[in-house]
Amino acid sequence: MRNYTVIVSNEATADLDGMARYIASLYRIESGHNYVNRILGKLASLSYTADIYQFSRYATARRIHPLAKTFSIMNHKWTVVFHVDGNFVIIDRFIPSKLMVD
């Protein structure tokens, strides 16, 4: 079993910031931070599970990266688009799951 270092790209970080701001606008600032922290916890598992995911069949993901892989988080509300490059798993974007099309 291979272990990877998980890296969150600048675009994905901006996506997370937008999620946190939106949740904070509805509830409290802490709620936005807690939501993002839960997402980051789920991403940590990619350090050892990245190889089990197949290359994405979604055109949306393949436009982001030709070798993109995807998985759903937060009750299938968000799709994580990532790719493996050497010893790294790079999180490219967070896309609302309803926008993922073949």
Question: Which pLDDT score is estimated for 62?
Answer: 94
Res. 98: pLDDT tops 90: no
Q: Is the pLDDT of residue 2 over 90?
A: no
Does the pLDDT value for residue 102 go beyond 80?
Answer: no
CA 44 to chain CA mean position, Å = 10
Q: What is the distance between the terminal CA atoms of the chain, rounded to a whole angstrom?
A: 31
24-51 residue pLDDT tens? 999 998 999 999 999 999 999 999 999 9
Predicted confidence at residue 100, as pLDDT, reads 76
Range list of β-strands (E), 14-77: 69-73
* Beta strands at 69-73 and 78-85: parallel, antiparallel or unpaired: antiparallel
